[in-house]
Amino acid sequence: MTQAELLERLPSILPAGALRSSDVVRGQAVADLERTLMRDALAALRDHPDVRLEMLSDLTAVDYLGRVPRFEVVYQLYSIARNHRLRVKVAVPEEDPVVSSVSSLWKSAIWAERETWDMFGIRFTGHPDLRRILMYPEFEGYPLRKDYPLLRRQPLVAERDPLERPWFPRP
């Protein structure tokens, strides 16, 4: 299936109103989804027998400072069975930076959603353990936002036990 053929099938696969736009950009199929229907749409893309996008290979965000909506959450999906890819983008407003978690669809999303929360401040509702993963818990702000001050000072924190492993799930 070509990238264009994949995009042609999307309206019949996705929930009504989920697809905002689609195009082939630099040889890759890209779909822009409605934020409120995004989780159901991604589940349909994973489960539909014609596309079977069963692998979430990446999840991240982009900060378009000065644009409305400011953020985009980007999902890179891949079908092992069909050997095709789809990039899915979801616009996220600065005033309400929240999207549904897809960690129940793909376990690989658990770490990527935590990283996106930590770096951009986008919350994922329904995530099983949304807390900082790269920055220490007392860190203030979100360092990959384009308005984050480069020379910002962070609070000093007490030295921790080196055996403490905050990246493991809490008991």
CATH of the domain at 30: 3.30.460.80
Question: Does residue 23 belong to any structural domain of this protein?
Answer: yes
Q: What is the mean predicted confidence (pLDDT) over 145-166? A: 77
Tell me what the mean pLDDT of segment 99-127 comes to.
97
- Is 164 domain-assigned? no
SS (H, E, C) 75-100: EEEEECCCCEEEEEEEEECCCCCEEE
In a domain, 62, yes or no: yes
Residues above pLDDT 90, as percent of the chain: 80
What backbone torsions phi and psi does residue 138 show, to the nearest 5 degrees?
Answer: -85, -5
Q: 30 or 167, which is more confident? A: 30
For the chain, give percent helix, strand, coil, nearest 5. 20, 25, 50
In a domain, 132, yes or no: no
Q: How far is CA 135 from CA 46, 78, 142, in A?
A: 32, 29, 9
**Per residue in 15-47, pLDDT tens?**
999 999 999 999 999 999 999 999 999 999 999
* pLDDT above 70 for 168: no
pLDDT of residue 4: 93
Q: Which two tokens stand for residue 28?
A: 């890759």
Q: Residue with structure tokens 């409305």?
A: 68
Mean of all residue pLDDT scores within the chain? 92
Range of the domain at 42: 3-125
Q: What is the mean pLDDT of residues 137-142?
A: 88
pLDDT, mean of residues 84-101: 98
Q: Are strands 98-100 and 123-125 parallel, antiparallel or unpaired?
A: parallel
Which of 71-75, 101-105, 167-171 has the weakest average pLDDT?
Answer: 167-171
Please state the domain count of the chain: 1
pTM recorded for the entire structure:
0.89
Please report whether residue 32 resides in a domain: yes
Is residue 75 included in any domain, yes or no?
yes
Strands of 84-92's sheet in order across: 19-25, 28-33, 84-92, 71-79, 55-63
Q: Please check whether residue 149 is in contact with residue 142, taking contact to mean a CB–CB distance below 8 angstroms.
A: no
